[in-house]
Chains A and B, each alone.
Chain A
Amino acid sequence: MNPPEAGPPHVPLPPTRPLARDAAFEEEIRSTVAFERKLMVRGIIAAAIVAVVVVVRTLYLS
Chain B
Amino acid sequence: MLTDLSLAGKWLLVALVVLAAVPLLVALYQFVLITLFYRHNHYDECAPFFPRTAILLPAWNEAAVIGTSIDRLMLLDYPMDSLRIYVIDDASTDATPVVVAEKAERYPGRVFHLRREQGGQGKAHTLNFGLETVLADHWMEALLVMDADVIFEPDALARMSRHLADDSVGAVAAYIKEGSRPGNYMTRFISYEYVAAQAAARRAQNVIGAMACLAGGAQLHSRANLEAIGGRIDTSSLAEDTFTTFWTQLSGRKVIFEPHAIVWAEEPGSIDGLWKQRLRWARGNVQLTRSFSGLWFRRSREHRLGSISFGLFWFSVFLLPAFMVMASAALVTLFFVDFSQAWEAFRFLWIINVVCYVFITTFTLFIDTEVARRCWREAILFPGVVSLVIIAYTCFPKGFAWLVHHGAGDVGFSVTHHDVHWLILFAFVWLSACMLVACVAKLLEPHRGGRFLSPLFVYIGGYGPLLCAVAFSSYIKELRHADMRWEKTEKVGRGAEHTRAMEQLP
- Identify the A interface with B (CB < 8 A): 1-4, 6-8, 10-13, 15-22, 25, 29, 32-33, 35-37, 39-40, 42-47, 49-50, 53-54, 57, 60-61
Contact = CB atoms under 8 A, between A and B. Distances in A.
A33 B359 contact: no
B407 interface: no
A7 B395 contact: no
A43 B31 contact: yes
Contact of A8 (B109, B362, B398, B399): B109
Contacts of A1: 112-115
B280 interface: no
B32 A33 contact: no
A37 B395 CA distance: 32
6 contacts: A10-B139, A13-B138, A13-B139, A40-B35, A45-B362, A50-B358
Given A19-B49, A33-B41, A6 B363 contact: no
Contacts of A46: 358-359, 362-363, 366
A40 B363 CA distance: 10
Contacts of A39: 34-35, 37-38, 366-367
Given A8-B109, A35-B260, A49-B362, 6 more contacts: A1-B115, A16-B49, A17-B49, A29-B43, A45-B362, A53-B354
B34 A43 contact: yes
A10 B133 contact: no
A45 B366 contact: yes
Interface of B: 31-32, 34-38, 41, 43, 46-52, 82, 84, 86, 109, 112-115, 129, 132-134, 136-139, 141, 162, 165, 260, 354-355, 358-359, 362-363, 366-367, 395-399
A58 to B, nearest CB: 10
Contact of A12 (B43, B46, B138): B138
B41 A3 contact: no
A48 to B, nearest CB: 10
A32 B260 contact: yes
B138 A7 contact: no
Given A16-B82, A42-B366, A2 B48 contact: no
Given A13-B138, A42-B367, A3 B35 contact: no
Contacts of A15: 141
Contacts, number: 118
- A-B pairs, top 3 by smallest CB distance, nearest first, are A18-B165, A36-B38, A42-B366
A23 B250 CA distance: 36
A50 B359 contact: yes
A35 B162 CA distance: 18
A33 B38 contact: yes
Nearest to A3: B133
B49 A54 contact: no
Contact of A40 (B38, B136, B138): B38
A53 B357 CA distance: 11
A43 B35 contact: yes
Contacts of B362: 45-46, 49-50
B114 A37 contact: no
Contact of A25 (B47, B82, B114, B398): B47
Contact of A6 (B52, B112, B162): B112
B205 to A, nearest CB: 15
A32 B138 contact: no
Contact of A3 (B48, B82, B114, B397): B114
A25 B47 CA distance: 8
Given A6-B86, A16-B82, A22-B48, A60 B38 contact: no
Nearest to A45: B366
Contacts of A60: 396, 398-399
